[in-house]
């Protein structure tokens, strides 16, 4: 028997198509998937989610049609690669350099809008727990395996890109900007191109829908406007009011971390929120202390220092940050479990869903990767390889990738089944659907054959297939065609029995196979979830570990490392200070 995936479209088919008799499960499997969020979320959050969910389902076929019309190997590679320019990792690596090269004010503004953007988009994602647009019909094109594990609404990539672009444009248009008009125009055009490229790339890559990128973009723009017009006044307020105002700000950040909504599924949004909250805390502590020190008035002059000194300063700063992370992370993972167990015994712990409490484990793997924001030292060779060969990291996947995807697939499948039953069609398939199944089976066979080929040849065939598929789709497919692929169910296709006619020839060459559209019972759910990458075990101490590590990174970048420059011979700029 061959297995393929399609949806129950509820259209009556030929006589050869039969519906499997419904078995009586202990719990209705459709309700099992539909009730997941009803059980996991408070009623008021669940009601809000159910009101927003139809928007995700409505826009999916239009996104799939747009993707099919535009797909090409070149665009696949371009948007997969440029998506990295909107990630937390890209900004986390580049932002400290601004503080070491005389752009501390601009760098602090960027950190503020990125940290608040990542935190609050993650906050909203976990609050609504909305899935990404369904795959199929969409193809997910990405270079990051963790991105698809997050919820879809709103788009953090879009918030990051728009916030940086808007803030940059506002700074360029500021009256005290020293750039020439031609330079301003070029940089402003680059900012527009960057934001549009990232936003449209999220749609093209099948990672987000229209509502996701629109709301994410609005959040990013609002945060930039607030930072540009009120950021300087807020910094001055902190400097004037001393430790009291600083401690109040740190307390607010900790409270926001504590009230961060718990998601219905094991989503890593909270991890990124905690990391950037830590960066914000370290940034505020470091800039408050550094602004009151004697080192604050030391200027930076690229031409006076020379390129060799500047590059040496940057390399030294990066080395210090990586050294801090490599030492602090394992130390905290070793020591914090003992403290957390004492807190549990004293009923002082604050457990969080999907994090294992310290009383249930003995040791934590020292090589544990606690986040996807900043690479480990062991990741550096892979990053260098990715830069040299950027196309190799691109992957295209079809089907549920996260728990949210799987539950949405099952829920939509159940909805279509019920609509089909209500229409009195019994979930039967049309002859056209069977032809689709045959084509899918042939595609699966070709894919298995390609797995035996050399990797480079595989990529070439895949790119050619994408190009042909794109050209054909644009001429004959419509959004309604892609809607039929949403929530594809499990379809079992029986082989056609070859019978001999009166003259001994094969009489069933053009016969349709029997298609059994089974009810989606517990086995169906297991089948969907078995395709997902199982999330790793997450430990309760990771939250505090991440907070301390990233607070340390922020503090080192804005205070400790600039002070060390003046201590180490040859790296300082104190001699440039005006007497």
Catalytic residue of the set 7, 112, 139, 157: 157
Contact 205, 401 (CB under 8 A): no
Residues 225, 389: Cα–Cα separation, whole Å: 38
Residues 445, 486: Cα–Cα separation, whole Å: 23
Contact 323, 330 (CB under 8 A): no
| Of residues 264, 523, 536, 540, the one with CA closest to residue 403 | 264
Q: Which two tokens stand for residue 516?
A: 């059994």
Residue 338 is among the residues annotated as catalytic for this protein: no
Contact 495, 488 (CB under 8 A): no
Q: Which two tokens stand for residue 494?
A: 């029986």
Q: Which two tokens stand for residue 345?
A: 């015994």
Give Dmax (Cα) for the chain: 110
Residues 465, 461: Cα–Cα separation, whole Å: 6
Q: How far, CA to CA in Å, does 260 sit from each of 122, 248, 285, 431?
A: 9, 18, 23, 50
| Chain centroid offset of residue 487 CA | 21
User: How buried is residue 451: exposed, middle or buried, by Cβ count under 10 Å (0-12/13-18/19+)?
Assistant: exposed
Helix residue ranges per DSSP H, 129-242: 156-172, 181-204, 210-241
Q: Tell me phi and psi for residue 164, to 5 degrees.
A: -65, -45
Catalytic residue of the set 208, 260, 389, 526: 208
Residue 7 is among the residues annotated as catalytic for this protein: no
Q: How many residues does the chain have?
A: 579
Reduced to 3 states, what is the DSSP secondary structure of residue 2? strand
Q: Are strands 395-397 and 140-142 parallel, antiparallel or unpaired?
A: antiparallel
Reduced to 3 states, what is the DSSP secondary structure of residue 519? coil
End-to-end alpha-carbon separation of the chain, Å? 86
CB atoms near residue 549 (< 10 Å): 24
Q: Which residues are catalytic?
A: 157, 208
């Amino acid at each position: 028997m061959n297995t393929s995936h399609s949806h129950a479209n509820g259209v009556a088919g030929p006589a050869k198509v039969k519906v499997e008799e419904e078995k009586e499960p202990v719990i209705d499997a459709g309700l099992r998937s539909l009730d997941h969020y009803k059980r996991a979320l408070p009623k008021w959050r669940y009601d809000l989610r159910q009101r927003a969910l139809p928007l995700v389902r409505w826009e999916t076929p239009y996104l799939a049609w747009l993707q099919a019309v535009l797909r090409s190997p070149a665009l696949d590679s371009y948007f997969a690669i440029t998506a990295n320019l909107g990630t937390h990792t890209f900004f986390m690596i580049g932002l400290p350099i601004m503080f070491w090269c005389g752009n501390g004010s601009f760098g602090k503004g960027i950190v503020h809008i990125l940290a608040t953007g990542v935190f609050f988009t993650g906050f909203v994602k976990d609050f609504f727990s909305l899935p990404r647009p369904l795959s199929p019909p969409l193809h997910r094109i990405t270079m990051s395996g963790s991105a698809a594990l997050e919820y879809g609404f709103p788009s953090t990539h879009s918030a990051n890109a728009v916030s940086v672009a808007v803030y940059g444009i506002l700074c360029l248009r500021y009256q005290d900007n020293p750039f020439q008009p031609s330079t301003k125009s070029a940089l402003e055009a680059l900012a527009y191109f960057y934001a549009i490229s990232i936003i449209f790339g999220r749609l093209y890559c099948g990672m987000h829908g229209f509502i996701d990128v629109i709301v994410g973009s609005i959040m990013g723009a609002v945060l930039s406007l607030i930072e540009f017009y009120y950021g300087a006044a807020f910094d001055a307020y902190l400097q004037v009011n001393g430790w009291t105002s600083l401690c109040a700000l740190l307390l607010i950040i900790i409270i926001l971390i504590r009230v961060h909504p718990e998601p219905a599924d094991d989503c890593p949004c909270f991890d990124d929120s905690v990391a950037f909250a830590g960066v914000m805390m370290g940034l505020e502590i470091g800039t408050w202390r550094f602004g009151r020190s004697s080192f604050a008035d030391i200027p930076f002059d690229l031409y006076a220092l020379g390129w060799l000194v500047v590059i040496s300063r940057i390399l030294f700063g990066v080395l210090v940050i990586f050294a801090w992370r490599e030492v602090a992370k394992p130390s905290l993972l070793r020591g914090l479990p003992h403290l957390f167990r004492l807190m549990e015994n004293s009923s002082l712990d604050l457990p969080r869903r999907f994090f294992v409490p310290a009383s249930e484990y003995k040791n934590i793997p020292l090589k544990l990767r606690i986040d996807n924001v900043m690479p480990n030292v062991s990741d550096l060779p892979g990053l260098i390889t990715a830069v040299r060969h950027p196309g190799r990291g691109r992957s295209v996947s079809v089907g549920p990738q996260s728990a949210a995807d799987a539950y949405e697939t099952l829920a939509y499948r159940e909805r279509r089944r019920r609509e089909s039953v209500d229409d009195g069609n019994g979930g039967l398939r049309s002859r056209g659907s069977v032809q689709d199944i045959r084509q899918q089976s042939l595609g699966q066979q070709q894919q298995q054959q390609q797995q035996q080929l050399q990797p480079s040849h595989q990529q070439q065939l895949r790119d050619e297939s994408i190009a042909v598929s794109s050209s054909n789709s644009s001429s004959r497919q419509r959004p309604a065609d892609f809607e039929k692929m949403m929530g594809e169910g499990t379809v079992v296709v029986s082989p056609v029995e070859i019978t001999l006619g009166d003259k001994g020839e094969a009489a069933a060459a053009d016969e349709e196979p029997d298609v059994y559209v089974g009810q989606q019972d517990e086995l169906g759910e297991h089948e969907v979830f078995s395709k997902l990458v199982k999330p790793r075990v997450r430990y309760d101490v990771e939250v505090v570990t991440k907070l301390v590590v990233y607070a340390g990174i922020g503090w080192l970048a804005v205070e400790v490392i600039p002070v060390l420059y003046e201590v180490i011979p040859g790296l300082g700029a104190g001699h440039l200070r005006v007497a």
